[in-house]
Amino acid sequence: MENHDGVKGMLRTQQLIRNENLHCASNYHPLPVVLTRGQDVWLWDVEGRRYLDMMSAYSAVSFGHSHPELVAVLCEQAQRLAVTSRAFHNDLLGPFLGLLCEMTGMDRALPMNTGAEAVETALKAARKWGYQAKGIPEGQARIIVCKGNFAGRTTTIVGFSSEPQYRAGFGPFAPGFDVVPFGDADALELAITPDTAAFLVEPVQGEAGIVVPPPGYLARCREICSRHNVLLICDEVQTGLGRTGRLLACEHESVVPDALVLGKALGGGLLPVSAFLARAGVMDVFQPGDHGSTFGGNPLACAVGHAALQLLRRESLAQRAATTGARLLQGLRSIAHPAIRDLRGKGLLIGLELDPHFISAHAFCLRLMEHGILSKDTHGTVVRFAPPLTISAGQVDDALATIKAVFAELPAPQQQRPLAA
């Protein structure tokens, strides 16, 4: 009977995947699992198998799946008032943005939906600030970004990406961007000209493979930008709201940026919520009609975002991420295997770089899936470990035991032959 049920489950999985492939654009290559339910750090597939989520939807599920407090807020608000557009005031926008500004130390916030939208907002603000406040000639403003950056998928954003696939076939691209190596403050200073309006940087590069810059890098960038009257804009869509063990990743070096981009976790894992935040002198360049969003700042998003921020603070989730992240990192460092090239990260944002001659990161993630852990590779070489911030020490230990078991299954070095991806 169990075998019969297992076959039925496999057939259902295959049919659902075939149906998705038939109707959905093939812009993703998901692992062959069909998820149907989630609770806290756990996910279940349509066959009833349970998995530990070590991905958190790229940090969007930092509070765990279907957090009961956030779901209750979502349901209550959805029955009261969900969307009005910013053509009118609503009673939740002020309290939400007020708490967000208080917690981040910013003066003003502009609500959007996705991280990419918030980054686009930051680019518009930086350029207009450059013309109005710095005196850059109209149409000449430049923004410095880093090699390996990932800020979204819009045509402007992929235009300053250094990843060929993100750009291929999507040009022509907007001008006005200069690319410097990540982690090299001297290169930043050399790239600055009188027409430079801003420097947009991720404190830790996520999509590039959880790349952590050298100690003191961000603080030095802050000093350079201040000296040259250049805005420092920190893209913390993935690293913000407790992920790295601090509320903001830039706080690790006591850096206060001129502007900040938040998203992902801001929606509590329930809906897209993002924001561009800045000091008043930057945000005040916007006047009515300059910029907008039909759904940005809607009451439903404000209710969930406000509740998520309260939960983050009340449950000390940033501190928990620091503690459990250190436990996870220490446990991973204890694994002695020649397939491991590097291990890096902060808090609960950790990248495990593998030698592709032993096994590709994608193949490793497939093996993890077979053992009940879900994660995703980046660029075929790095496995991400970024579970919900609610993960317990015991669950971290269980995950480490599973990861060690997967490594133990790999062929011994003296018998090693490359494994298929």
- pLDDT (0 to 100) of residue 420: 42
Catalytic residue, chosen from 45, 184, 235, 258, is 235
**CB neighbour class for 379 (10 Å; exposed up to 12, middle 13-18, buried from 19):** middle
* 237 token code pair: 């869509």
Q: What band does 416 get if pLDDT is binned at 50, 70 and 90? A: very low
Model pLDDT for residues 153-168, shown as the tens digit of each residue: 999 999 999 999 999 9
Nearest-5° angle of CA 360, CA 364, CA 365? 115
The DSSP output letter for 213 is P
Res. 20: pLDDT tops 80: yes
- pLDDT (0 to 100) of residue 415: 42
Contact 62, 384 (CB under 8 A): no
Q: Rounded to whole angstroms, what are the CA distances from 406 to 209, 362, 371? A: 21, 13, 8
Cβ neighbours of residue 352 under 8 Å, at least 6 residues apart? 332, 340, 342, 343, 361, 382, 383, 385
How far is the C-alpha of 37 from the C-alpha of 194, rounded, in Å?
53
Model pLDDT for residues 336-365, shown as the tens digit of each residue: 999 999 999 999 999 999 999 899 999 999
- pLDDT (0 to 100) of residue 379: 86
Q: Dihedral through CA 344, CA 208, CA 251, CA 298, nearest 10?
A: -130
Range of lowest pLDDT (200-204, 247-251, 376-380): 376-380
286 noted as active-site residue: no
Q: At what angle do helices 299-314 and 93-104 cross, to 10 degrees?
A: 40
Whether 68-314 and 2-60+317-415 are alike in CATH topology: the answer is no
Among residues 348, 355, 334, 327, which one has the least CA distance to residue 404? 334
Q: Which amino acid does the sequence have at 70?
A: L
Q: What band does 411 get if pLDDT is binned at 50, 70 and 90? A: confident
Q: What band does 9 get if pLDDT is binned at 50, 70 and 90? A: confident
Q: What is the architecture, at CATH level 2, of domain 68-314?
A: 3-Layer(aba) Sandwich (3.40)
β-strand 196-201 against 231-235: which pairing, if any? parallel
Residue 259: how many other CB atoms lie within 10 Å: 24
Catalytic residue, chosen from 96, 150, 199, 385, is 150
Model pLDDT for residues 46-105, shown as the tens digit of each residue: 999 999 999 999 999 999 999 999 999 999 999 999 999 999 999 999 999 999 999 999
End-to-end CA distance of the chain: 34
Contact 44, 38 (CB under 8 A): yes
Q: Tell me the average pLDDT across 35-51.
A: 97
* 84 token code pair: 């009005």
Sign of CA dihedral 299, 300, 305, 307: positive
How far is the C-alpha of 34 from the C-alpha of 47, rounded, in Å?
8
Q: What band does 10 get if pLDDT is binned at 50, 70 and 90? A: confident
Among residues 351, 104, 142, 386, which one has the least CA distance to residue 236? 104
**CB neighbour class for 346 (10 Å; exposed up to 12, middle 13-18, buried from 19):** buried
Query: What is the arrangement of strands in the sheet containing 50-53, beginning at the earlier edge strand?
Result: 35-39, 42-45, 50-53, 373-374
Q: Which residue has the tokens 């947009």?
A: 200
SS3 at position 385: strand
Res. 419: pLDDT tops 50: no
Model pLDDT for residues 376-399, shown as the tens digit of each residue: 999 889 999 999 999 999 999 999
**CB neighbour class for 409 (10 Å; exposed up to 12, middle 13-18, buried from 19):** exposed
Q: Which CATH number fits domain 2-60+317-415: 3.40.50.720, 3.90.1150.10, 3.40.50.300, 2.60.40.10?
A: 3.90.1150.10
Model pLDDT for residues 169-183, shown as the tens digit of each residue: 999 999 999 999 999
- Higher pLDDT: 286 or 10? It is 286
Res. 319: pLDDT tops 70: yes
**Domain chopping of the chain, boundaries:** 2-60+317-415, 68-314
Q: Rounded to whole angstroms, what are the CA distances from 335 to 290, 347, 351, 381? A: 53, 19, 14, 17
150 noted as active-site residue: yes
The DSSP annotation for 262-318 comes to: E-GGGGTTTS--EEEEE-HHHHTT--TTSS--SSTT-HHHHHHHHHHHHHHHHTTHH
Q: Tell me the average pLDDT across 208-229.
A: 98
Contact 329, 337 (CB under 8 A): no
Strands (E), 77-211: 108-112, 142-146, 177-180, 196-201
Contact 332, 351 (CB under 8 A): no
- pLDDT (0 to 100) of residue 152: 96
- pTM beyond 0.85: the answer is yes
Contact 401, 342 (CB under 8 A): no
**CB neighbour class for 42 (10 Å; exposed up to 12, middle 13-18, buried from 19):** middle
Q: Tell me the average pLDDT across 401-405.
A: 98
Catalytic residue, chosen from 63, 177, 264, 377, is 264
Res. 4: pLDDT tops 70: no
- pLDDT (0 to 100) of residue 1: 37
Model pLDDT for residues 258-302, shown as the tens digit of each residue: 999 999 999 999 999 999 999 999 999 999 999 999 999 999 999
- The answer to whether the bond into 172 is cis (omega within 30° of 0) is yes
